[in-house]
Amino acid sequence: MRQLNIFLSQISCAVFLFFSPLVLASNLSLIDAENAALVADPAIQRNDALAASISEMAIADGQLADPKLTFGLFNLPSDDFDLNKNSATQLRLGVKQALPKGDTLRFKKLKGAQYALAKKHQTAWLKRKTLLDVRLSYLESFYHQGTVDILNKNRRYFVDLLKTTENFYGVGRANQQDVLLAKLELSRLEDRINQAQNLFEINKAMLGKWVPSAQQQYLDDKLPVLKSLTSLKQAEQSLIHHPMVQIDDALVAAAKQNILMAEEQYKPGFNVGVEYRKRFGDELNGQHRADLVAAMVTMELPIFPEKRQDKRLSSSQYGYQSFKLKRSDTLRNMRQQLNQHYGNWLRLTERSERYKTYLQHQASENTKAALRAYQSGVADFSTLLQARITELETGIQHNRINVDKTKAQAQALFYSVSKE
């Protein structure tokens, strides 16, 4: 007996340790899931690093090239290598600096800054996209969790219904077919519960891509409340502030700098330098040979621009026009997506209200009436069973509509930019 108690105690401890993470873990809210995803998303962190990299490079690109130091020994006799023999022998030390054409450096720096800005806007877009993905995954998991809850609650009703039918059959008020039908529907319901639970676990595993702890937690039992949508007109007007459009704005500005840089190529570029020339030995009159100083200017002459400067300018202009058209295309597509999701949200809101106000109540009343009729012997068992199944399906469909409505709201919010 003592060994049996020890064995049972060990089993109890094992069961507690196995289920304790599920018991102790609090329900996962949508806000917690969003915060966890934003902190852990490597794509956002990688893009931040790229933005910083491009920003640093833009500063470097705006600087003058490093000066060049020259050092050499000239006109040294090859027969005896005597430094003092020839008056032309010189030791030269100089420095040279390249000066780019016009304001090329400034425009190049501004171009890099626009690319860095585009990356920063891309980070903002990635955050919005991550939030949307997490919300959609969370809401789909919420739907399946709600379906499991609805089915489990109805299972208790079907169990009671089976007992009632068996009692009626025992006193001759029901036939055997009613009992078999009740058992069949209960078995089908249990199979459906297993399927719904499996779908719930699958969707939680997908949510675990962003929130690893999601697989060990249940979700909140109330549908998340998202930020309210503005009017469709206001949402459309806000599209120009959306990160996707701001990315294109920055790329258009960068392309404009390409045009300005191409225009600067028609101007001459310069190289300037200065040299100190050390001489050795004495002149014929016995005086020491004087050292020399030289200054130089080299200028590039863009005298044949047809095949070079003109083509570069034309290329940059085409590129600029291409980015402007891309921005217009982005705005058009976003406006279409916003209208689609906003309209879907309005339609689902209307359907949800209809289910809440009429259909859910009517289905419940229909079940109650069918139960009274069955108990009075007016209606058969299949009528009662069908009424209950209809109420069950109405509840599940109402849950589906509410979740889809919130999904549509989340997708519309993805395209809408609030003034904060």
Q: Band the pLDDT of 419: cuts 50, 70, 90.
A: low
What is the average pLDDT score of the chain? 88
Indicate if the pLDDT at residue 16 is higher than 60.
no
Q: Cβ distance 68 to 95 under 8 Å?
A: yes
What confidence tens digit (pLDDT) does each residue in 187-208 have?
A: 999 999 999 999 999 999 999 8
User: What are the tokens at 359?
Assistant: 């259909």
Task: Kindly state the tokens that stand for 282.
Answer: 């004495």
First to last CA, the chain: 70
Checking if the pLDDT of 22 tops 80, the result is no
pLDDT of residue 356: 92
Residue 105 near residue 62, CB atoms below 8 Å: yes
Mean of the pLDDT values across residues 251-272?
A: 93
Q: Give the model's pLDDT for residue 11.
A: 44
Query: Tens of pLDDT along 75-87?
Result: 888 787 777 777 7
The tally of CA atoms less than 13 A away on the side-chain side of residue 2 is: 0
Helices (H) and strands (E) in the chain — how many of each?
10, 4
pLDDT for res 25: 54
DSSP state letters, 365-398: HHHHHHHHHHHTTSS-HHHHHHHHHHHHHHHHHH
The pair of three-digit structure tokens given for residue 291, joined into one six-digit string: 């050292």
Distance from C-alpha of 318 to C-alpha of 307, rounded to nearest angstrom: 16
* Residue 15, pLDDT above cutoff 70: no
Token pair belonging to 76? 């040294």
Q: Side chain identity at 380, as an amino acid letter?
A: D
- pTM score: 0.82
What's the pLDDT score for residue 342?
A: 96
The string of pLDDT tens digits covering residues 117-139 is 999 999 999 999 999 999 999 99
pLDDT in tens, 344-354: 999 999 999 99
At residue 417, the pLDDT reads 85
pLDDT attached to residue 233: 93
Please tell me the distance from the alpha carbon of residue 317 to that of residue 183, in angstroms, as a whole number.
76
